């Protein structure tokens, strides 16, 4: 029986569970995860995958397009995105020239202009571009892709970079969805992460976007930032919920200063303890549910009538590199520095630095520097992990029908691990299904990790005292 996604038990896991499951693990915006990509997949391999798309069933299916804009005017200390911090806006012109070349090369390999049902600009800060540059970019995209009339066209927005005039321009260009990066409204927390913006300014931008007819407004929040407490974050939840964004993406801060230089400006002693982080998450779940939101999963909430909430109730939820999505599993064509494409059973990631990205294009190549070709086992495990991450339920029959396997036979050791999690109250293992419990949603990444074959070569085996251990290159799941 499916759990009711509108009902949530917000009790906090006990200290023993916190201790045993406070481990590093992937977020599973893809499987296999990007750390498994290798240099054996290059621009030629990616070009072959794009060309083969025209001869398969995907040719008649709409694709999704992502464009990465890396520039930011100032650094936010928590940030782990691929970005270039600069106040030299003239650098955007060279980048747009490069994007135009990349689009032309991708289009050459695809043949006819592919239909697109979802278009997303992310970063960095896409609104670093001027109005004229955004107009040029959208014109290029429409030249090379058939963007459907009812397509979701979204852009990530730093509220400090726009006003009513810029919002009006975005709407005129066809954008119908916005994602505001808010993170926290507490002034002390904002100063600690170098991202100051008032609640009043955000509210004004929300009102302006609604007046202009944007279909959906998302707000990004982060818990676990320096100086946050359960009480202060509860105030943030209250104030954000009062603004009534259609969706909220709530991410746990991952402190990895050895990988991300800006995070070295954050004192580890100022970060909340794992128990407090979990209280923030539990309080956010309770706070949003009590104000009419549905809990979509790990890091997303939506108003009950939002398409994301409807998709969750109807079992149509998907997950990709941008998080949870209503779009069916489809090819993702990603453009720009560090962007990751998924075409058929192939992942391809562009060069991570602007010099390498530009050099590849000058040399006549697609700017791919690494990727992965999925094998049959990858495809089976991807479907299993995405079922757990999206629906909180792994039904055996659809997996067996799609892949011609017996789930109990194929995943004997994995199901044995889940039996131990069942004893902890995180899942229930039924004759033909695995169901994540409300308590288990706190640890859903650990549940999914039980099926990750690639972690097997890196981790210590699961023991009575805890789950499988992923390498430290991943963030902690709590």
Cα distances (Å, whole numbers) of residue 237 to 225, 248, 286: 14, 10, 10
Q: What is the mean pLDDT of residues 138-146?
A: 97
Q: What is the mean pLDDT of residues 396-412?
A: 97
pLDDT in tens, 261-277: 999 999 999 999 988 98
Task: Write out the E strands in 16-169.
Answer: 63-69, 71-72, 84-85, 115-123, 146-157
Question: For the chain, where do the domains classified as CATH 3.80.30.20 start and end?
Answer: 36-335
- Distance separating alpha carbons of residues 90 and 467, to the nearest angstrom: 50
pLDDT in tens, 311-347: 888 888 888 777 788 877 789 999 999 999 999 999 9
Residue 1 has pLDDT above 50, yes or no: no
pLDDT band at residue 468, thresholds of 50, 70 and 90? Answer: low
Q: What integer pLDDT is reported at residue 461 of this predicted model? A: 39
- Binding-site entries for S-adenosyl-L-methionine: 66, 78-80, 123-125, 156, 183, 195, 220, 254, 340
- Binding-site entries for [4Fe-4S] cluster: 72, 76, 79
State the pTM of this model: 0.90
Question: For the chain, where do the domains classified as CATH 1.10.10.920 start and end?
Answer: 1-32+376-478
Q: What integer pLDDT is reported at residue 478 of this predicted model? A: 62
Report which of 217, 182, 178 is spatially closest to residue 306, judged by C-alpha positions.
217
Average model confidence (pLDDT) across the chain = 90
Q: What is the mean pLDDT of residues 101-127?
A: 94
- Binding-site entries: 66, 72, 76, 78-80, 123-125, 156, 183, 195, 220, 254, 340
**Which fold is adopted by the domain 1-32+376-478?**
Arc Repressor Mutant, subunit A (1.10.10)
Q: Are 99 and 336 in contact (CB under 8 A)?
A: yes
Q: What is the mean pLDDT of residues 118-129?
A: 95
- Distance separating alpha carbons of residues 162 and 142, to the nearest angstrom: 24
Residue 3 has pLDDT above 50, yes or no: no
Q: What is the mean pLDDT of residues 119-136?
A: 96
Q: Specify the higher pLDDT residue, 296 or 177.
A: 177
Name which CATH class applies to 36-335.
alpha beta
pLDDT in tens, 201-238: 999 999 999 999 999 999 999 999 999 999 999 999 99
Q: Specify the higher pLDDT residue, 13 or 121.
A: 121
- Distance separating alpha carbons of residues 290 and 305, to the nearest angstrom: 15
Q: What integer pLDDT is reported at residue 359 of this predicted model? A: 98
Q: What is the mean pLDDT of residues 49-73?
A: 90
pLDDT band at residue 467, thresholds of 50, 70 and 90? Answer: low
Cα distances (Å, whole numbers) of residue 464 to 24, 420, 426: 18, 8, 15
Q: What integer pLDDT is reported at residue 462 of this predicted model? A: 44
Lowest mean pLDDT among 8-22, 235-249, 382-396: 8-22
Q: What is the mean pLDDT of residues 244-268?
A: 92
Residue 7 has pLDDT above 60, yes or no: no
Residue 449 has pLDDT above 60, yes or no: yes
Cα distances (Å, whole numbers) of residue 364 to 105, 163, 357, 359, 440: 9, 39, 11, 9, 49
- Calculate what percentage of the chain has a pLDDT beyond 90: 73
pLDDT band at residue 456, thresholds of 50, 70 and 90? Answer: low
């Amino acid at each position: 029986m499916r759990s009711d996604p509108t009902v949530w038990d917000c009790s906090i896991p006990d200290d023993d569970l916190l201790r045993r499951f406070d481990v590093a693990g992937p977020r599973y915006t893809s499987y296999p995860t990007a750390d498994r990509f290798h240099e054996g997949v290059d621009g030629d391999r990616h070009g072959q995958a794009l060309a083969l798309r025209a001869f398969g069933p995907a040719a008649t299916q709409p694709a999704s397009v992502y464009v990465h804009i890396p520039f930011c005017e100032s650094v936010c200390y928590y940030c782990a995105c691929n970005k270039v911090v600069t106040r030299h806006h003239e650098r955007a012109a060279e980048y747009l020239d490069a994007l135009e070349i990349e689009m032309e090369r991708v289009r050459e390999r695809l043949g006819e202009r592919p239909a697109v049902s979802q278009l997303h600009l992310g970063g960095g800060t896409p609104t670093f571009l001027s109005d004229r540059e955004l107009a040029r970019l959208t014109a290029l995209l429409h030249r090379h892709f058939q963007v459907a009339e009812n397509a979701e066209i979204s852009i990530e927005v730093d509220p400090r970079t726009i006003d009513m005039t810029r919002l009006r321009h975005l709407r005129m260009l066809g954008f119908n969805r916005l994602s505001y990066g808010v993170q926290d409204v507490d002034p002390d927390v904002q100063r600690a992460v170098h991202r100051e913006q008032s609640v009043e300014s955000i509210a004004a931008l929300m009102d302006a976007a609604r007046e202009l007819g944007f279909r959906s407004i998302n707000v990004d929040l982060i818990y676990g930032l320096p100086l946050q407490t359960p009480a202060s974050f509860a105030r943030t939840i209250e104030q954000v919920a009062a603004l009534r964004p259609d969706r909220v993406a709530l991410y746990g801060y991952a402190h990895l200063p050895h990988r991300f230089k800006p995070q070295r400006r954050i004192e580890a002693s100022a970060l909340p303890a794992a128990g407090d982080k979990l209280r923030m998450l539990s309080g956010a779940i309770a706070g949003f549910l009590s104000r009419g939101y549905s809990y979509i999963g790990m890091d997303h909430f939506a108003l009950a009538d939002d398409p994301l909430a409807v998709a969750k109730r109807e079992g149509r939820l998907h997950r990709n590199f941008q998080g949870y999505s209503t779009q069916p599993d489809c090819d993702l064509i990603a453009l720009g520095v560090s962007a990751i494409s998924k075409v058929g059973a192939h992942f391809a990631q562009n060069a991570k630095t602007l010099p390498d990205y530009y050099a590849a294009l000058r040399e006549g190549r697609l700017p791919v520097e690494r990727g992965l070709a999925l094998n049959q086992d990858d495809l089976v495990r991807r479907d299993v992990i995405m079922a757990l991450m999206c629906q909180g339920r792994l039904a055996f029959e659809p997996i067996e029908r799609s892949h011609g396997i017996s789930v109990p036979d194929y995943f004997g050791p994995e199901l044995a691990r889940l039996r131990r999690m069942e004893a902890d109250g995180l899942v229930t293992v039924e004759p033909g299904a695995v169901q994540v419990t409300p308590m288990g949603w706190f640890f859903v990444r650990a549940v999914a990790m039980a099926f990750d074959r690639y972690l097997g070569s890196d981790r210590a085996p699961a023991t009575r005292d805890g789950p499988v251990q992923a390498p430290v290159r991943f963030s902690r799941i709590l």
